Amino acid sequence: MNTPYALQQRIDRYCEQLEQHPKLQSMYRKCAVSTVSSVLRPCEDGTWFVLTGDIPAMWLRDSAAQVTHYLPLATDPEMGGILEGVIRRQLRYIALDPYANAFNQGPSDDGWVTDLPRISPWVHERKYEVDSLCYPIRLLYLYWKQSGREEIIRDSLEDTLRIILDLWKTEQHHGERSPYWFTRPECDPPCLPCGGKGNPVVYTGMTWSGFRPSDDDCKYGYLTASQMFAVVVLGYAAEMLRSVCGNEALAAECEALAAQIDAGIRQYCVVEHPVHGKIYACETDGMGRYSMIDDANIPSLLSIPYIGYAPAEDELYRNTRRFLLSSENPYYYEGTYARGIGSPHTPERYVWHMALVMQGLTAVTPEEKREMLAMLAATDAGTDLLHEGFHVDDPTRFTREWFTWPCSLFAEFVERCVDEGVL
């Protein structure tokens, strides 16, 4: 689609501030429009379908992240209509199947046709991820704060929250109560062990997740960053329910669940590191087993201030951040062109642009922000776009040529840097 007038004006204003940084200016101009120019698809019901890029499906998580940098334009009729259309489609998908992470534009039955169980032809992939339910609530909340519009909240929030709360409470007792299982027979192993139910966990107050934001399976079922995200969005939900819907009972239910999850984080997800002191583990099962890594996808431990769980100055976060950005994190790589966090989802020594942007967004000094901007500008492989992962010694070796989530996040980062006087 053509670039909306209000968006073009906003891009032009920021580009004026980037005249002394021509490479960043060129990248920002291209990344800021990447969502509207390449992945938005209008639907007959007035909503918007958002491709993740080179995969012809709409991820709940990705689609929210792909339009977040447009929120400052929420009061513009055209841009506000796009944002509202994305949110309405997300909420309809949640009602269709809250365990699914990605959907087709229509009931085409596209996707991984061998995945079991097969539930709906609308579902592209049914990997259950806690963050898939967090992102649409966050987007709705931020849209409400920017635009003041309450129609979607009045129309859909109570029904959507009832679905999410029931699911998250069920998954607090995954082994005993959950109906969810997932297998992909052609994989070895077939994604989730133990007959598709995942490795055993015990009750902790937290809510189980089968998969990470990378769509890789969780080794242990309580993914710390996703639990934190759930705590934050339950607070957002409670505020909207009280302010707009006048539903005190459902708001209190959200807050009670958030308190249970948060208590679980504090009790089970904080571990002692021999060098960095108390830090957050990536995952745990509540039985003393945990993993000490971070994944480049968001939510991540690195993104804790960005998702709103704790400030960047928080001591536990600072300790965790030092661990994450060190060789003690097995997915931290250093090379000729970059150093940063990669993922088990991509090859060894591949750093993710998304992780570099997030390091910049959570940095507390202008120097670190500028360092990340310079690294991003040096590793786009001459495309003016960002990718998934790239080799730290050769940025021309990268995964996913068409992947707009990191581009959208980069546009948000650049705008923040301009607003803060970093550039």
Q: In a 3-state reduction of DSSP, which class is residue 273?
A: strand
Q: What is the pTM of this model?
A: 0.97
**Phi-psi group of 53: left, alpha or beta (phi > 0 → left; psi -120 to 50 → alpha; rest → beta):** left
The predicted pLDDT at position 202 comes to 98
Question: Tell me: the pLDDT tens digits for 327-384?
Answer: 999 999 999 999 999 999 999 999 999 999 999 999 999 999 999 999 999 999 999 9
- What is the C-alpha to C-alpha distance for residues 53 and 270, in angstroms, rounded to an integer? 36
Q: In a 3-state reduction of DSSP, which class is residue 28?
A: helix
Q: Does the CA dihedral 242-86-305-254 come out positive or negative?
A: positive
- What is the C-alpha to C-alpha distance for residues 349 and 347, in angstroms, rounded to an integer? 6
Domains of the chain: 1-32+331-423 (no CATH), 33-330 (1.50.10.10)
CB 66 within 8 A of CB 298: no
- What is the C-alpha to C-alpha distance for residues 149 and 140, in angstroms, rounded to an integer? 10
- What is the C-alpha to C-alpha distance for residues 258 and 249, in angstroms, rounded to an integer? 14
Question: Tell me: the pLDDT tens digits for 138-172?
Answer: 999 999 999 999 999 999 999 999 999 999 999 99
In sequence order, the β-bridge partners of residue 394 are 391
Is the pLDDT at 173 greater than 80? The verdict is: yes
What average pLDDT does this structure show over 190-215? Answer: 95
| DSSP state string for 316-344 | HHHHHHHHHTSTTSTTEEE-SS-EEEB-T
- What is the C-alpha to C-alpha distance for residues 361 and 417, in angstroms, rounded to an integer? 9
pLDDT band at 188 (very low <50, low <70, confident <90, very high): confident
Average pLDDT over the chain reads 97
Name every residue whose Cβ is closer than 8 Å to that of residue 154 and which is 6 or more positions away in sequence: 244, 245
pLDDT band at 36 (very low <50, low <70, confident <90, very high): very high
In sequence order, the β-bridge partners of residue 334 are 339
Q: Which amino acid is at 23?
A: K
Owner of token pair 């087709």: 104
Question: Tell me: the pLDDT tens digits for 372-413?
Answer: 999 999 999 999 999 999 999 999 999 999 999 999 999 999
- Give me the phi and psi of 342, to 5 degrees please: -110, -145
pLDDT band at 191 (very low <50, low <70, confident <90, very high): confident
CB 125 within 8 A of CB 115: yes
Is the pLDDT at 423 greater than 80? The verdict is: yes
Q: Token pair for residue 357?
A: 């942007």
Is the pLDDT at 187 greater than 90? The verdict is: no
Question: Tell me: the pLDDT tens digits for 222-271?
Answer: 999 999 999 999 999 999 999 999 999 999 999 999 999 999 999 999 99
- What is the C-alpha to C-alpha distance for residues 116 and 102, in angstroms, rounded to an integer? 15
The predicted pLDDT at position 112 comes to 84
Q: 77: how many CB neighbours lie within 10 A of its CB?
A: 10
Q: Token pair for residue 6?
A: 């209000």
Q: 173: how many CB neighbours lie within 10 A of its CB?
A: 14
The predicted pLDDT at position 192 comes to 94
The predicted pLDDT at position 186 comes to 83
The predicted pLDDT at position 23 comes to 98
CB 119 within 8 A of CB 101: no
